[in-house]
Amino acid sequence: MTSLLLRSTFRLCPVKPLFYDVGKWCRAVGLSTLTALISACASIGPSTKLAAPAPVFAPLAFFTGHTVGEGILRVTLSHARRVHVVSDGRVEPDGTLVLIQRVEEGSKPPRERTWHMRDLGGGLFAVSLSDAIGPVEADVAGNRLHLRFRAKGGLGIEQWIYRQPGGDTALNRMVVRKFGLPVASLHETIRQVR
């Protein structure tokens, strides 16, 4: 009966109904869903609401000592995961910050990573990270530290860390891209523990 109704409707109407070709309908819905998911991640990035000329972010001073980060990692087509990061930083005699972090992400085993950061002046920093492939681009403008690097698996990672008034808290906004498309985002609050 339905088949007959569809055939007779098709004969009366010169435009083929969308649901007549289930394959096209599934592709259209799938593409719409994928576009919505990518758009949700794409909205993550630099925040004009968080950016301010002061307090000026001094990353070596902020990350020297003990800091703790708590956040939520959202991965496209997956569930959100809690992220907990404990960091201990020290400045070496040559002025380089060495930051050792213990990262706990959802139910994954904890992992350790190490940052090395040296102030080059003019808001620029020389940075290396054990998770990165190649150098890390880093600069400061006002209360924002901007980091950009490549990671294993062809991932491009970009972070915007905003120091907050009072100076002992920073908000981290990160986006992870694969083939230029956003696939994950992180919202994290980092606090100094003195």
What's the whole-number mean pLDDT along residues 151-171? 95
Write down the pLDDT at residue 26.
41
Confidence at 8, pLDDT banded by 50, 70, 90: very low
Tracing tokens 């907050």 back to the chain, one arrives at 164
Cβ-contact 161, 144 below 8 angstroms: yes
- Mean of the per-residue pLDDT values of the chain: 83
Q: Which two tokens stand for residue 37?
A: 């998911």
pLDDT greater than 90 at residue 38: no
Q: List, for residues 137-151, the tens digit of each pLDDT value.
A: 999 999 999 999 999
β partners of residue 144:
141, 162
In the three-class reduction of DSSP (H, G, I as helix; E, B as strand; rest coil), residue 13 is classed as coil
Write down the pLDDT at residue 157.
97
Task: Write the DSSP symbol of residue 50.
Answer: T
What's the whole-number mean pLDDT along residues 95-117? 97
**1 or 123, greater pLDDT:** 123
Q: List, for residues 40-90, the tens digit of each pLDDT value.
A: 444 455 666 777 878 889 999 999 999 999 999 999 999 999 999 999 999
Tracing tokens 């000329």 back to the chain, one arrives at 53
Q: How far is CA 176 from the centre of its chain?
A: 5
Write down the pLDDT at residue 62.
97
pLDDT greater than 90 at residue 96: yes
pLDDT greater than 70 at residue 22: no
**15 or 76, greater pLDDT:** 76
Q: List, for residues 111-134, the tens digit of each pLDDT value.
A: 999 999 999 999 999 999 999 999
